[in-house]
Chain A
């Protein structure tokens, strides 16, 4: 039995929750390459029974994203400084499957309509695996020669082979599994995150370094700027609340945590209760409870049960959470 599955089955609240909730965390403040790792880093799953973060898999300080095969949650993909790691046994063993000329994986996404197909975001483009991450090939037709630093990938859950990529020079869309990409939102600076609404598959939000936040209501074909958010400094990520279609949140080093409770029309700063100079690294929402999490740069992970009006410290002191990820729990 794998670590992931044993944790899942150990939960007494299994029947009450619909999602497994994960983070990729670096809990190693001021770690420098070469030193011995003295803390536990990498993949953690929220245990609804104990309300603790349970580590599984390798101890890796550099995980940036995680994805699962929707058919079999023992198939796990994580991006890291080294590239892409794949596990076929729930995290007990892993293989680094990228070639030497692919490095510093930024994001990974599985097509739910064709789960053998996996997308890998790289600092110099995009690679696609047709065989559950065993092999990878560049799929960059239509991306600019320069400007294809890809920070984020999001597969459209409504249509197979339809993927949005957040690149240095905008949002790019493929409708044939990476066969060709076209720019659907030009930006001056890096697109840091793209999210699809869990409530409306035509609704997307993208956030950028210094080009503000944008949303689309037609599946990513056209975009307009979200006027309620500042756009001079970088917004690191955005998240929808799976429990409430009106609620969104963003994280920003300079602005901290901002939330909207009217579908993105208006936004309000929600930093009261967070450390001064908040340096918000990432926000995420537990789809089981609507609890809002904020990873504060090399501080403790914080959470809010009133959507940012108040905050309390969680565990993982000195951490960076690079990704929050939830998947519908498989019924066994």
Chain B
């Protein structure tokens, strides 16, 4: 209530001002714009506390005020109050660490002691995911650095400052080594990107060890280089290790967009910066960072097509799998007006994966469902057991009240499946399904956005449509019906749903498949011409005994795929084993090399994690 009263609509410049996707050529202007956006974000956040009423402010607002040197007495009071009821776990730990550092020479002795006491008295949780551990160990590392040489009696976990520091450091080094060697586990996450970027920026700014600062700088550039490469007009599309029920269809509506907005300035902000809450913490330190020129150029230039073949890894798998971490093979094809992305299918993350889509550009992506894809809506206690220490039954219904409301629903559009296999060549995707008939939801769902135009169910079996200026041809391989697309406005209540105006193609057949072909609006004079081109493409398929497809793509490639076998392009099996960590026009890294080369035009930056060097180069 306080927020709505304190904050009249229209007080947020970033929401109302027109934005431009044109690159800013002047470095000085670009820096000024960057700082201005950060100031807008901070002003907005602090503007929530009207009439100097700071009694309800959170840790991000406190940290902002401390860095500005403003309202210190209010910060003191609020810190002492907040520390009376500490939270538990990494989502509490890293914000308080930020307050501790931002206020280390500004907060009163009493306020600093309140923070210190909380780290002595309240048992914290490490968590059980990669992002939890990044936040947790960063916080422990920095807090132990702030209070060195103290015995275990002064820390909540009984470990001395030295023990806490070493444990945090060793975990962070192991994670950075792993990430730069075989890839990130929570790759291309639409929301959790913040849980990596913020701790890395904290380490870059506050670690006393210059090597740790450099490591954090390298991995931060690494993270944002990939964000720049795989976003379309600043919008992160699939595949995603983790996304959510909203972002998977309204692709702009994600925390990742905040980073594009802040770093690249090529995407509009949402009203009241909705959904960008964690961005407040990045904003506290944003002045200490700016993406290098080469990353900025990659993000803001789609004049040349991008084809990246990259690797990542699944979340670590405790059980019910022969693999500790599955290699993830990502194909990213981005053009000026649309992008197609995928990984090979199968289980990558227990709940929130998104395997493939085509996403198109729109002038203003806010509120637009600018994407198309299909999936098998798999819900499984066994899959949860692969990744969590849990029994089979509680999690499928339980997570629907913990921010994943669609997880246990047949109509869901989020998640991966052990019964889905995907191949991609440029802007063609083939997804095949061989679903266990005993599965809870033996069907395939295809997402058809409210924002599609010219949708036509053709007698041939193809469904044609336009997304923005992009032509889309979607071929379901089994019979289907239509259901309304629903959204979950309350992420913690699966029983509250709203229809969006979009539709879901529901195909209740366990032997199944989807073929998708996209094309740019400039390639054909009309929808009729596009349809004619698609209908002329050789296509044969069978669903028994397992789904198999032979399709010659719009790009003239003979694509063959049989469920359970390695897909073939022009008769040659795709050499997944030979894929590098990154391979494409902008990002290149040999598997295990720990060296990432980032290029755009003549610009280059080499991130060498082995030598801890960052080298800018000019290419011939």
With most chain B CB atoms within 10 A of its CB, the pick from A96, A147, A190 is A96
Range of interface residues on B (Cβ < 8 Å): 35 or more
B393 contact from A94, A96, A151, A254, Cβ within 8 A: A254
Q: Does B480 interact with chain A (Cβ within 8 Å)?
A: no
A34 pairs with B87, CB closer than 8 A: yes
Per-residue 0/1 for B408-439: is the Cβ within 8 Å of any A Cβ (1 yes, 0 no)? 00000000000000000000000000000000
Also in contact, A104 and B391, with CB within 8 A (given A35-B88, A36-B87, A61-B88)? no
**Can you offer 7 A-B residue contacts whose CB atoms are under 8 A?**
A32-B403, A33-B88, A36-B86, A36-B88, A37-B88, A99-B167, A190-B385
Binds A, one of B249-257, B317-325, B446-454, B608-616: B317-325
A34 pairs with B92, CB closer than 8 A: yes
- Chain A residues, Cβ within 8 Å of B385: 190, 209
**Nearest B residue to A123, CB-CB:** B318
- Chain B residues, Cβ within 8 Å of A210: 392
Report Cα–Cα, A210/B385, bound state, in Å. 13
Q: Does B171 interact with chain A (Cβ within 8 Å)?
A: yes
A124 pairs with B318, CB closer than 8 A: yes
Q: Does A71 interact with chain B (Cβ within 8 Å)?
A: no
Q: Does B85 interact with chain A (Cβ within 8 Å)?
A: yes
Interface on chain A toward B: helix, strand, loop, or mixed SS?
Answer: loop
Q: Does B572 interact with chain A (Cβ within 8 Å)?
A: no
Q: Does A285 interact with chain B (Cβ within 8 Å)?
A: no
A95 pairs with B88, CB closer than 8 A: no
- Chain B residues, Cβ within 8 Å of A97: 158
Q: Does A62 interact with chain B (Cβ within 8 Å)?
A: yes
Q: Does B89 interact with chain A (Cβ within 8 Å)?
A: yes
Also in contact, A33 and B393, with CB within 8 A (given A94-B158, A149-B318)? no
Report Cα–Cα, A96/B164, bound state, in Å. 10
- Chain B residues, Cβ within 8 Å of A254: 393
Also in contact, A100 and B89, with CB within 8 A (given A93-B153, A147-B319, A192-B391)? no
Report Cα–Cα, A236/B390, bound state, in Å. 10
Range of interface residues on A (Cβ < 8 Å): 35 or more
B88 pairs with A34, CB closer than 8 A: yes
Report Cα–Cα, A156/B507, bound state, in Å. 54
How many residue pairs link A and B with beta carbons under 8 A? The number is 104
Report Cα–Cα, A101/B137, bound state, in Å. 12
Also in contact, A81 and B319, with CB within 8 A (given A93-B158, A100-B167, A254-B393)? no
A104 contact from B89, B91, B322, B389, Cβ within 8 A: B389
- Chain A residues, Cβ within 8 Å of B137: 100
Report Cα–Cα, A101/B91, bound state, in Å. 21
Also in contact, A58 and B132, with CB within 8 A (given A35-B88, A192-B391)? no
CB distance from B420 to the nearest CB of A (A): 23
**Nearest A residue to B392, CB-CB:** A234
Spell out B's residues near A (CB within 8 Å).
Answer: 85-92, 123-128, 132, 137, 152-153, 157-159, 167, 170-171, 174, 318-324, 385, 389, 391-394, 401-403
Also in contact, A81 and B128, with CB within 8 A (given A34-B87, A95-B157, A100-B137)? yes
Per-residue 0/1 for A109-140: is the Cβ within 8 Å of any B Cβ (1 yes, 0 no)? 00000000000000110000000000000000
Report Cα–Cα, A35/B394, bound state, in Å. 21
**Nearest A residue to B318, CB-CB:** A123
Also in contact, A36 and B85, with CB within 8 A (given A30-B401, A58-B123, A81-B125)? yes
B393 pairs with A59, CB closer than 8 A: no
Chain A positions 173-227 with a Cβ under 8 Å from a chain B Cβ:
189-190, 192, 209-210
A146 pairs with B391, CB closer than 8 A: no
Report Cα–Cα, A149/B387, bound state, in Å. 11
B389 pairs with A33, CB closer than 8 A: no
A168 contact from B88, B128, B174, B320, Cβ within 8 A: B320
**Nearest A residue to B323, CB-CB:** A146
A100 pairs with B153, CB closer than 8 A: no
- Chain B residues, Cβ within 8 Å of A233: 392-393
CB distance from A24 to the nearest CB of B (A): 14
Q: Does A297 interact with chain B (Cβ within 8 Å)?
A: yes
B322 contact from A37, A146, A189, A190, Cβ within 8 A: A146
B389 contact from A106, A147, A234, Cβ within 8 A: A106
B123 pairs with A253, CB closer than 8 A: no
Given contacts A233-B392, A236-B391, 9 further A-B contacts (CB under 8 A): A34-B87, A34-B91, A81-B125, A97-B158, A100-B170, A100-B174, A190-B319, A192-B391, A253-B394
- Chain A residues, Cβ within 8 Å of B127: 33, 81
CB distance from A41 to the nearest CB of B (A): 10
Report Cα–Cα, A65/B500, bound state, in Å. 47
Per-residue 0/1 for A32-66: is the Cβ within 8 Å of any B Cβ (1 yes, 0 no)? 11111100000000000000000000111110100
Chain A positions 262-302 with a Cβ under 8 Å from a chain B Cβ:
279, 297
- Chain B residues, Cβ within 8 Å of A95: 152, 157-159
Report Cα–Cα, A209/B89, bound state, in Å. 30
CB distance from B477 to the nearest CB of A (A): 32
